[in-house]
Amino acid sequence: MRRLALLVGVAAALFAIACSKQEPPAPPAAKAEDPKRELITKGAYLAAAADCYACHTVRGSEPFAGGLEIPTPFGTLFTPNVTPDPETGIGSWSADDFWRAMHEGRSKDGSFLYPAFPYTNYTKVTRADSDAIYAYFMSLKPVKKKSRAHEMGFPYNQRQLMAGWRALYFKAGEFKEDPKQSKEWNRGAYLVEGLGHCNACHATRNALGAITADDDYSGGLIPVQNWYAPSLTSSRETGLGDWEVKEIVDLLRTGVAERSAVFGPMAAVVMHSLQEMSLGDLNAMAVYLKAQSEKKASAPLLDSGPSDEQTAGMMRTGAKIYKDYCAACHQPNGEGVPRVYPPLVNNAAITMRNPVNPIRVVLNGGFPPSTQGNPRPYGMPPFYQELNNEQVAAVVTYIRRSWGNYSSPTTAAEVARSRGVPAD
């Protein structure tokens, strides 16, 4: 069972679906005597840090021309065209208009933007950085492609009602450095809380889809995609506080590390965003994330599980399945092959409270992202046709409760919820 372990590690756009492997257009080469080109180059880097490409590009279509479908519990959104076409894109927008969208969550005409565009995070971006991103977008090839209307049911299609939501859950304001922390810590906080919008996925949301605390990284289920973005603070889940900074940087930059690998939505984040960032910025993000360890514990799951007798039977079945399908790669003792086949022993990506991610990888297989640091990743084949729900539950239970691992058993019902959900 290759690449079973997954760490859906730091940041992904809210409910975004992993996009194409096209590369975003490169900015013009900067010259020392050309401040405009330097600004565009800076903006290209910041747009990558904000993962703009992943949401505003449809597979096989022009970069940044929008149209990506984003299903949410409240309806379906379609990302807009952000190329500089004056009729269908943002070519008629000024830098002030763009700043208002980033900082205040309002469109050019003043209407409220839906928070699937993570302005609740982007409000922390400085005006200088916003202007640089705007300059980059204005340098792109204009694409004439009309943005598709959102398909939101009543009352969510009434944008004026967003005023109440914003009054409760949104306050505009640029990032303010903490004078008690180091320069590196503050840079990491700016990237994680603002441009990276990491808690857009790695936070617990209420019934209205709101995150109630800026520093909430306690983990959350991405409902439509049925992936669980693990807590970045609880040692029970990711255990980042126990990781070395270099290990975290390796995972963010290449998608693989000695302890784990990324799959699903996080693989798209690494591919389109994090691998483009400087080692200095990734190091700063790692420093900040380590400092958040154990700040807020993950909420316990309330679902009832199998009985002790049922669990014992699942362990026997799972042991046989593991021997037949998994041991050749992950090794009989679950230790894996570092940076090739992730270890399953003491792997928080396997033992976290919610088993949905290992279930999905067993069903759908997958690859870590192809990055400069890991251009030919080893992948895992899907087993959705070979194993039924009870067998998948058994082998996931066996892995989560063997070699010193101890997590709650998995149920066939949990597997059934993931079967048929798209792999990306």
Q: 55, 293, 50, 299: which is closest to 193 by C-alpha?
A: 50
Greatest alpha-carbon pair distance for the chain in Å reads 74
Q: What is the mean pLDDT of the chain?
A: 84
Tokens coding 362:
């067993």
Classify domain 308-418 at the CATH superfamily level.
Cytochrome c-like domain (1.10.760.10)
Q: 193, 344, 316: which is closest to 260 by C-alpha?
A: 344
Per-residue pLDDT at 96: 98
Point out the residues of the chain with pLDDT beneath 50.
1-21, 296-303
Cα–Cα distance for residue pair 415/360, rounded to 1 Å:
8
Q: 368, 134, 409: which is closest to 260 by C-alpha?
A: 368
Cα–Cα distance for residue pair 390/317, rounded to 1 Å:
9
Locate the domains of the chain by residue range.
35-151+159-169, 183-291, 308-418
φ/ψ bin of 255: left (φ > 0), alpha (ψ from -120 to 50), beta (otherwise): left
Tokens coding 59:
């597979």
Per-residue pLDDT at 139: 97
What are the angstrom distances between the C-alpha of 220 and each of 52, 133, 208?
A: 22, 29, 14
Neighbour tally for 341: CB within 10 Å? 22
Please, which residues have CB within 8 angstroms of residue 1's CB and are 6 or more apart in sequence? 322, 325, 326, 329, 330, 361, 362, 380, 383, 395
Neighbour tally for 135: CB within 10 Å? 21
Q: What is residue 209's three-state secondary structure?
A: coil
**Which pLDDT tens digit goes with each residue over 260-304?**
778 778 888 988 899 999 999 999 999 999 888 755 444 444 445
Tokens coding 226:
């049925």
Name the packing angle between helices 127-138 and 35-49 (round to 10°): 100
What are the angstrom distances between the C-alpha of 161 and each of 107, 165, 241?
A: 15, 7, 41
**Which pLDDT tens digit goes with each residue over 107-139?**
999 999 999 999 999 999 999 999 999 999 999
